[in-house]
């Protein structure tokens, strides 16, 4: 059965910011392990996701990656 999920067609390095929002992502990847504080595309309250592993693509649709409580680095959003 073919997948109905469209693959990412671009990526962008992100510096966490408590104020900056961006176009919703299809996924997130990190270069260094840690926690990430995100605002999902349809939510109004951010959530901290613990213990992300480097090199994994996480299928998160986020519009903000907050600096507060984010310890991962090397963040790339996929669109």
| Percent of the chain residues topping a pLDDT of 90 | 89
Backbone φ and ψ for 3, nearest 5 degrees, come out as: -75, 140
For range 21-50, the mean pLDDT: 97
**Quick check: 69 pLDDT over 60?**
yes
**Token duo for residue 38:** 């995100």
Instruction: Determine the Cα–Cα distance for residues 68 and 79; give it in Å rounded to an integer.
Output: 24
The pTM assigned to this predicted structure is: 0.91
Domain extent listing, the chain: 11-78
User: Is 90 exceeded by the pLDDT of residue 3?
Assistant: no
Cα–Cα distances (Å) from 16 to 3, 7, 36, in that order, read 31, 24, 9
Percent of the chain with pLDDT over 70: 94
Residues 6 or more apart in contact with residue 26 via CB below 8 angstroms? 6, 7, 8, 59, 61, 78, 79
């Amino acid at each position: 059965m073919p997948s109905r999920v469209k693959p990412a067609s671009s990526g962008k390095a992100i510096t966490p910011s408590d104020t900056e929002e961006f176009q919703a992502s299809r996924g997130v990847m990190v270069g260094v392990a840690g926690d990430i504080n995100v605002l999902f595309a349809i939510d109004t309250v951010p959530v901290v996701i613990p213990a992300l592993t480097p090199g994994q693509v996480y299928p998160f649709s986020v519009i903000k990656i907050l600096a507060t409580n984010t310890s991962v680095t090397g963040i790339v959003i996929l669109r």
